[in-house]
C-alpha cells in the first residue's frame, strides 16, 4: 500500500509538472502541492521503517511508534501551515477587493492597480470600458451603478444613532498615466465604522460630493473575529474601511455606511 501511494504521488507530480513547464518556478513552490508531497515522504519513511522492522524484529515496536509519532507531527505541521496560509489568503483577498475599487471609481492609483494586474497598472484602465460593459472583474457587482447617482434615490436612510464612524485619512492617489490619455485624478480615503444595532458589519461605505452624488466607494477590512461576533450577536465593534473617491475638495463630502439591512447611515466624522 505504501509503495503504491508513493508511486501514485510521483506519477501525479510528473503529469502536473509536465503541464506547467512553461510557467515559472513559483508553480513548483505553490503551497497547494505540499499535501501530496507530504503523503509521498510519509510513504517512503513508512517503507524504510517497515524494512528496518523486518530486518530487526526486536525493533518493530520502536519503528511503529516512530512512524505514528512522525505522522502526528506532520499533521500538526500541516494544520499550522494551513492556518497561516488561510490568513495570508484572506489578507490578499482584502487587498485585491480594495484595489478593485480604483478602476470602478475611476482613480488611476498605480500601487492599487498593480495588485490587479502585475505586469502593467495601465492595462486595467485600458480594459476598464470592456470590463464594465460585460460586468467582469471588479465591475461584476452592482456598486459600479451607484456612482454618479444621488444617494437618496438609491437607498433609504437609517436613524443617525444606528451607526458611528469617521473619515480619518484622505490622500491624493499615486496616479499612473495611461497611454494616450490624461491620468484620472482621485484620492485614497480611509476611516472606521461600527453598526450599533446589527450582528453583521456594513458592507460598503459610500462617499458623496456636496450635492449628495455618489463619487467614491470603500470596502471594510474584515476583522478575524467577525464570524464569532456574528454568531454571538456582538455589535458595535469598529471596522476599518478603505477606498477611493473622485471628489473630496473642501468640506462638502460625506461618508455613508451601507448597513446589512440595505439602508444607509451617515458617519458623523
Grid cell in block for residue 144: 459600479
Residues 226 and 108 occupy one common structural domain: yes
96, 115, 134: which is the final residue of a domain?
96
- 107 lies in the same domain as 91: no
Residues 143 and 262 in one domain: yes
Final residue in a domain of this structure, among 76, 96, 116: 96
C-alpha cell at 173: 492617489
The angle subtended at Cα 105 by Cα 103 and Cα 107, nearest 5°, is: 65
CB 110 within 8 A of CB 176: yes
- Phi, psi dihedrals of residue 246, rounded to the nearest 5°: -100, -10
Residue 18 phi/psi, 5-degree rounding, is: -60, -35
pTM reported for the whole predicted model: 0.65
Question: Nine-digit cell at 226?
Answer: 467577525
Per-residue pLDDT of the chain (269 residues; tens, 9 = 90+): 889 999 999 999 898 888 887 777 777 777 778 778 888 888 888 888 888 778 887 777 777 787 788 778 878 887 887 788 788 888 888 888 888 888 888 887 877 777 777 656 667 777 777 888 888 877 888 888 898 899 999 999 988 888 888 888 888 876 654 444 444 568 889 999 988 876 778 889 999 988 889 999 999 886 544 444 444 445 557 889 999 998 665 567 889 999 888 899 998 76
Residue pair 96/219 in contact (Cβ under 8 Å)? The answer is no
pLDDT score recorded for residue 174: 66
Same-domain pairing of 8 and 88 = yes
Instruction: Examine the domain organization and report whether 164 and 247 are in the same domain.
Output: yes
Residues 88 and 208 in one domain: no
- Ramachandran sector of residue 73 (left: φ over 0; alpha: ψ -120 to 50; beta: rest): alpha
Would you give the end-to-end CA distance of the chain in angstroms? 66
Q: What is the pLDDT of residue 155?
A: 92
Alpha carbons 155 and 143: distance in angstroms, whole number: 12
- In whole angstroms, what is the distance from residue 242 CA to residue 269 CA? 15
User: Considering its fold, how many domains does the chain have in total?
Assistant: 2
Q: What is the pLDDT of residue 249?
A: 55
Q: What are the cell numbers at 75?
A: 499533521
- What is the model's pLDDT at position 120? 64
Q: For position 179, what pLDDT does the model report?
A: 40
> Is residue 126 domain-shared with residue 84, that is, in the same domain?
no
Q: What H or E segment, with its residue span, contains residue 65? A: helix 60-105
User: What pLDDT is stored for residue 251 in this prediction?
Assistant: 61
- State the Cα–Cα distance between residues 251 and 241, nearest whole angstrom: 20
Same domain as 133, residue 242: yes
Residues spanned by the domain of 154: 103-266
87 and 122 co-located in one domain: no
From 96, 125, 145, give the residue that closes a domain. 96
Residue 65 and residue 140 in one domain = no
- What does the alpha-carbon distance between residue 189 and residue 186 come to, in Å, rounded to a whole number? 10
Q: What is the pLDDT of residue 233?
A: 46
Residues 50 and 117 in one domain: no
- Does one domain contain both 190 and 73? no
Amino acid at each position: 500500500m505504501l509503495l503504491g501511494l508513493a508511486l501514485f504521488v510521483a506519477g501525479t507530480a510528473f503529469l502536473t509538472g509536465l503541464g506547467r513547464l512553461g510557467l515559472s518556478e513559483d508553480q513548483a513552490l505553490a503551497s497547494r502541492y505540499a499535501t501530496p508531497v507530504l503523503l509521498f515522504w510519509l510513504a517512503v519513511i513508512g517503507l524504510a521503517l517497515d524494512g528496518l522492522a523486518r530486518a530487526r524484529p526486536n525493533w518493530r515496536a520502536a519503528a511503529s511508534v516512530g512512524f505514528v509519532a512522525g505522522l502526528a507531527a506532520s499533521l500538526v505541521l500541516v494544520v499550522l501551515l494551513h492556518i497561516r496560509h488561510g490568513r495570508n489568503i484572506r489578507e490578499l483577498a482584502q487587498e485585491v477587493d480594495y484595489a478593485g475599487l480604483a478602476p470602478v471609481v475611476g482613480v488611476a492609483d498605480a500601487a492599487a492597480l498593480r495588485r490587479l494586474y502585475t505586469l502593467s497598472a495601465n492595462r486595467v484602465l485600458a480594459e476598464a470600458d470592456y470590463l464594465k460593459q460585460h460586468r467582469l472583474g471588479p465591475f461584476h457587482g452592482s456598486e459600479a451603478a451607484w456612482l454618479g447617482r444621488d444617494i437618496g434615490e438609491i437607498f433609504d436612510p437609517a436613524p443617525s444613532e444606528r451607526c458611528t464612524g469617521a473619515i480619518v485619512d484622505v490622500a491624493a492617489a499615486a496616479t499612473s498615466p495611461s497611454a494616450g490619455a490624461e491620468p484620472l485624478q482621485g484620492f485614497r480615503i480611509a476611516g472606521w465604522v461600527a453598526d450599533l444595532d446589527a450582528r453583521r458589519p456594513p458592507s460598503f461605505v459610500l462617499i458623496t460630493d456636496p450635492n449628495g452624488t455618489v463619487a467614491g466607494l470603500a470596502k471594510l477590512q474584515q476583522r478575524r473575529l467577525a464570524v464569532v461576533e456574528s454568531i454571538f450577536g456582538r455589535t458595535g465593534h469598529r471596522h476599518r474601511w478603505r477606498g477611493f473617491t473622485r471628489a473630496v475638495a473642501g468640506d462638502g463630502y460625506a461618508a455613508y455606511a451601507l448597513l446589512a439591512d440595505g439602508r444607509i447611515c451617515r458617519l458623523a466624522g
